[in-house]
A and B are shown apart, each in its own frame.
Chain A
Amino acid sequence: MTDLTRLHAHEMSPLLRVGEVSSRALTEAHLAAAERQNHSLNAWLVIYRTEALAQADAADRRLAEARRTGPAALAALHPLCGVPVGLKDLVSVKGGQATAGSKILAGYIAPFDSTVTARLRQAGAVILGKTNMDEFAMGSSTEHSAYGPTANPWDLTRVPGGSSGGSAAAVAAFHVPLAIGTDTGGSIRQPASMCGVVGMRPTYGRVSRYGIVAFASSLDQIGPFGRDVRDAAILLHAVSGHDRRDATSAPIPVPPELLSLPDSDDEAASYLRGRRIALPREYFVEGMEPGVAARVREAVAAMQAAGAKVEEVSLPHTDYGLATYYIIAPAECSSNLARYDGVKYGFADRSSGEFIADYLRTRGAGFGPEVKRRIMLGTYALSAGYYDAYYLKAQKVRTLIKADFDAVWAAGFDSICAPTSPTVAFPLGAKLADPVAMYLIDACTLPVNMAGLPGVSVPAGLSDGLPVGLQIVGAPWSELSMLRLARAYEAITARATWRAVEPAELHLTDDPTTPSPAERMTRHTQGASATGSGGQA
């Protein structure tokens, strides 16, 4: 029998249905890998062995019952039934922690399921555990977690990207075939790119935000990680759809075709014929690594060779994306994070005996430096006398950024292709002292959030042995065609040698003497300020 952890979810599903493999066996295999390797990766903040096995057994019962009932009952089951998934630790799971990577939420137990959780339960997915992240999703490297950084399985001395670095690393390391992340400025696509997996951010409003610890409400979206496009599409299908608990979720039907992206590479590749792909010149930014630019241009050339029409376009307001993002996201977070005051739950310092002083102590000790920096930025931007100059102005620029994209869709393009990140994974600690350098990592992903668009990062080869991501961006609600295009790219590169390469240092993670990412970072940052860092989300 093959190693069960190497299976894709779309391969597990048929095996589960015919009873050739059980959810318990799948879950056991993945639990074992996660438990064995978490010491050197720190991808997981908590692993739910007991609960996961119980959910696996329940899924096995559902599968058995459906097998007895007949083919229709079996077909009615979601392909995720019995499949292990990981959740970023800001997704509320009833009875479990939701730290959002922060000390201030230590000890908080969510008394309710997020809508995403509820939908996963309904589908029969097995929740293996909660993954590491930058505190409140603020960061691009997962180094801002209060629970230590996560390592990149391709090179354990490097970051996995962020903020959903735990989810990306767990999927890359075969601990789960699928994981949930959130993307406020690139926090799914960028770590997907750096870990060599597929990561997708849906259109704003596609997935309910109810029960997801908020960072920046108007930018946050929840999306899937997988090791191929079909798997990501299956997870997207399970969690998408209108939710009356989220007033910003859209009453737009979820395309069932997400579950049936072609298995055949030839069929998948044929989708490229006649597609119009826009290549925005502003996205090949200064400071982009040549290896990254080369891989992305090769990917685009391959699609062109397969029948796509590629044209260069301009998104003239791209340059303002970063500046406006760093007004709007901090403004919203300064308000969203006001509830963490030590009064109701989580970490509290009540030593002063006076509530304002207790607030200051609780928040002073409970939040990390990057979160404090953004709360201060946002508070300033919303203050009387500055609101018009900063927040209001940023919202106007945001409209212009969105209009740039609208013009591309109006010109008849199917999608925009660009690099996901201007660099491959960088060493742990390398950018902690330079917040602006960290922020620049997200220059290519932020504008997509500002415009509320869907975007996916797919592996596009290696640069110096490290993964490079190709970003494909679609028009609002075009997830299906965007993923078809991504699947087509995957199909035309299916036989590329780099596709067969597994994360280079994965074998080291089995060795208990391998240092933990925290130990590695301490070595890297000796002498450097641990407070001078940044990164988006």
Chain B
Amino acid sequence: MTAAPAAAGKSAALERYEAVIGIEIHCQLKTVSKMFCGCSTEIDGAAPNSHCCPVCLGLPGVLPTINRTAVEWVLATGFAIEATVAPTTRWDRKNYFYPDLPKGYQISQYQLPLAANGRLTFDTSEGPFTVRVRRAHLEEDTGRLIHDELGGRRVSLIDFNRSGMPLMEIVTEPDIRTAEQARRYAEELRLLMRTIGASDAEMENGQMRVEANVSIRPRGQESFGTRVEVKNMNSMRAVERAIAYEIERQAVAVDAGETIHMETRGWDEARQSTYHMRPKEEENDYRYFPEPDLPPLLTSPEWLAGIKARLPELPSVRRVRYREAFGLSAYDADVLVNDAAAAALFEGALAAGAGVPAKLLANWVTGEYMRLAKGGEGSGGGAAGRVDAAELAALVKLVAGGAISGTNAKEVFGEHFASGAGVASIVKARGFRQISDAGALGAAIDQVLAANPAAVADYRAGKAAAVGFLVGQVMKATRGQANAGMVQTALRERLDKAE
């Protein structure tokens, strides 16, 4: 086997080959009960086989009943990715034998997925990119095999808690060309799932599973190369790295005259490489046929209209609105849209305070708020309090109106974050007000110039940075209340005039 290079660097081989990537994502849908029975979906941390019933254990004689909420989540996803939603759908059996598959078949959708021909657009470092989504369908999860040792014997144990959990499978067309696009697609889909509420889509606990089909072909060639399936990518970073690694591995192998084999490979996080899991010599014959235990499902126009009407603002729409209506930078808009709590605070503060400058507010939310919320310095170790949107609006207005300096405002915000006290009362108690009076500032500046002749000399010797030091000294002398902008202007005037 060829020693594959590290994923990070770009090899010369990549310039000759183009990658063709398709992504399959399984999302565990947010429902109270499982796909075809009444068992609870709260299986995290539960004892093995504690969330099972005759139906999800596939006992003789049991029958499935459809969880309508799960269907609605797929339909909602379909609308969100501009897919065609089927007026009639049906269920198919995918037949195969495996110990974690209690019925010997999985109820899935084969011929008539709930949603088809959608697309998802997202930003990449090379600009916006659109991936066509071939289909989104509903299916049930399997149980889990655990290989263990009991009394010195190797045994395989089965936990059926996950059996029958509702899953949505979303399959793209082979439109993706780079590892970054793949990662961004997965991130955008995750954001979409969380925004519409269909799934928590946590990769770490298997609520979202990403698989990639990766092949390469010489640039300019139409036909696809042999594809390799890559699994076990447990984070977005892993998705990007595994695919990048796999592209490079294939390119190097082809350059060396090797043949790429159809296979399933896993991502090894520790080694940062993919490894052979099993060959995929031919497609399995799953003997799909329509599930006779479930009648076809009609999606009535009224039902669909209701689902569509309940869709929240989608991330792509929200980004545009933030940029166009509030003049936010693409970066700020993206940061806000990617953080539900931050976006809610932003929108809440806008609604609470008439005339709050949106861009300044966005800076506060993406800056101070997110720093504290993530448990940054001064947040009290992350045990953060809640920020009241109206209080934040009031604070930002004080800053914008020049009534309080930026430095003091950060202190006020920190205290509000920690204690929940009102902004006005904190400002009053701390005696914060901004000194914007030229006379008062002039006196303070004179004192600082007199006390720091070395810095003055540095400035005059051409060290412009010395101004920063002097501004800091003035702020210190005024306990942070000086209008920093005015101080800077006045200082320069004095220094330049006296030259």
Give residues in A with beta carbon < 8 Å to B.
90, 92, 98, 100, 105, 108, 110-112, 114, 209-214, 216-218, 244-248, 331-332, 334-335, 337-341, 343-345, 355-356, 359, 379, 382-384, 387, 391
Do A343 and B95 have beta carbons less than 8 Å apart?
A: no
Shortest B66–chain A CB gap in Å is: 7
Q: Contacts A110-B60, A339-B102, A344-B58 given; 10 further ones with Cβ under 8 A?
A: A100-B60, A108-B60, A111-B59, A244-B65, A335-B105, A335-B289, A340-B104, A341-B97, A355-B99, A379-B287
Do A345 and B63 have beta carbons less than 8 Å apart?
A: no
Give the chain B neighbours of A331 by CB distance below 8 A.
289
B26 in contact (CB, < 8 A): no
Give the chain B neighbours of A334 by CB distance below 8 A.
95, 287
Interchain Cβ contacts within 8 Å, total number: 99
Stretch in B291-299, B431-439, B466-474 touching the partner? B291-299
B158 in contact (CB, < 8 A): yes
Do B105 and A338 have beta carbons less than 8 Å apart?
A: yes
The 8 A CB mask of B98-135 against A (1 = contact, 0 = none) is: 01001111000000000000000000000000000000
Of B63, B102, B287, B292, which contacts A382 at CB under 8 A?
B287
Do B63 and A209 have beta carbons less than 8 Å apart?
A: yes
Binding site secondary structure of chain B: loop
Of B58, B156, B158, B287, which contacts A339 at CB under 8 A?
B58
Closest residue of A by beta carbon distance from B284: A384
Give the chain A neighbours of B99 by CB distance below 8 A.
341, 343, 355
B62 in contact (CB, < 8 A): yes
User: A111–B55 Cα gap in the complex (Å)?
Assistant: 11
B5 in contact (CB, < 8 A): no
Give the chain A neighbours of B156 by CB distance below 8 A.
355
Do A218 and B60 have beta carbons less than 8 Å apart?
A: no
B93 in contact (CB, < 8 A): yes
CB interface residues, B 271-298, toward A, < 8 Å: 285, 287-289, 292-295
Do B63 and A338 have beta carbons less than 8 Å apart?
A: no
Of A90, A211, A216, A341, which contacts B62 at CB under 8 A?
A211
Shortest B230–chain A CB gap in Å is: 25
Do B285 and A383 have beta carbons less than 8 Å apart?
A: yes
Shortest A455–chain B CB gap in Å is: 20
Give residues in B with beta carbon < 8 Å to A.
54, 57-66, 93, 95, 97, 99, 102-105, 156, 158, 285, 287-289, 292-295
Give the chain B neighbours of A340 by CB distance below 8 A.
104
**A218-B292, A248-B295 as given contacts; A344 in contact with B102, CB under 8 Å:** yes
Give the chain A neighbours of B292 by CB distance below 8 A.
216-218, 248, 332
Of A92, A248, A382, which contacts B61 at CB under 8 A?
A92
Closest residue of A by beta carbon distance from B96: A338
User: A110–B59 Cα gap in the complex (Å)?
Assistant: 8
Shortest A338–chain B CB gap in Å is: 2
Give the chain B neighbours of A210 by CB distance below 8 A.
61-63
User: A114–B65 Cα gap in the complex (Å)?
Assistant: 15
Do A383 and B287 have beta carbons less than 8 Å apart?
A: yes
Of B54, B158, B293, which contacts A112 at CB under 8 A?
B54
**A105-B60, A338-B104 as given contacts; A359 in contact with B97, CB under 8 Å:** yes
**A218-B292, A339-B58, A391-B289 as given contacts; A247 in contact with B65, CB under 8 Å:** yes
User: A338–B95 Cα gap in the complex (Å)?
Assistant: 8
User: A344–B99 Cα gap in the complex (Å)?
Assistant: 9
User: A114–B287 Cα gap in the complex (Å)?
Assistant: 29
Shortest A386–chain B CB gap in Å is: 10
Give the chain B neighbours of A216 by CB distance below 8 A.
292
Of B61, B102, B294, which contacts A212 at CB under 8 A?
B61
16 A–B pairs (Cβ distance < 8 Å), ordered by A:
A98-B60, A108-B60, A112-B54, A112-B59, A114-B61, A244-B65, A247-B66, A247-B293, A248-B63, A338-B95, A338-B105, A339-B58, A344-B57, A345-B59, A382-B289, A391-B289
Shortest B233–chain A CB gap in Å is: 27
User: A210–B285 Cα gap in the complex (Å)?
Assistant: 29
Closest residue of B by beta carbon distance from A111: B54
Closest residue of B by beta carbon distance from A244: B65
Give the chain B neighbours of A384 by CB distance below 8 A.
285, 287
User: A359–B54 Cα gap in the complex (Å)?
Assistant: 21
Do B289 and A387 have beta carbons less than 8 Å apart?
A: yes
User: A396–B7 Cα gap in the complex (Å)?
Assistant: 54
Do B60 and A335 have beta carbons less than 8 Å apart?
A: no
Give the chain B neighbours of A332 by CB distance below 8 A.
292
Closest residue of B by beta carbon distance from A105: B60
Shortest B293–chain A CB gap in Å is: 5
Give the chain B neighbours of A338 by CB distance below 8 A.
95, 97, 103-105
User: A335–B295 Cα gap in the complex (Å)?
Assistant: 17
B57, B287, B295 — most chain A CB neighbours (10 Å): B287
Give the chain B neighbours of A337 by CB distance below 8 A.
104
A247, A332, A384 — most chain B CB neighbours (10 Å): A247
User: A112–B62 Cα gap in the complex (Å)?
Assistant: 10
Report, nearest first, the 4 A-B pairs whose CB atoms are least far apart: A338-B104, A217-B292, A382-B287, A218-B292
Shortest A194–chain B CB gap in Å is: 26
User: A114–B61 Cα gap in the complex (Å)?
Assistant: 8
Give the chain A neighbours of B295 by CB distance below 8 A.
247-248
User: A412–B459 Cα gap in the complex (Å)?
Assistant: 109
Shortest A58–chain B CB gap in Å is: 25
Do A248 and B97 have beta carbons less than 8 Å apart?
A: no
Of A213, A217, A245, A341, which contacts B60 at CB under 8 A?
A213
Closest residue of B by beta carbon distance from A99: B60
Shortest A359–chain B CB gap in Å is: 6
Of A108, A247, A355, which contacts B294 at CB under 8 A?
A247
User: A119–B95 Cα gap in the complex (Å)?
Assistant: 33
Do B61 and A98 have beta carbons less than 8 Å apart?
A: yes
Give the chain B neighbours of A343 by CB distance below 8 A.
99, 158
Give the chain A neighbours of B64 by CB distance below 8 A.
247
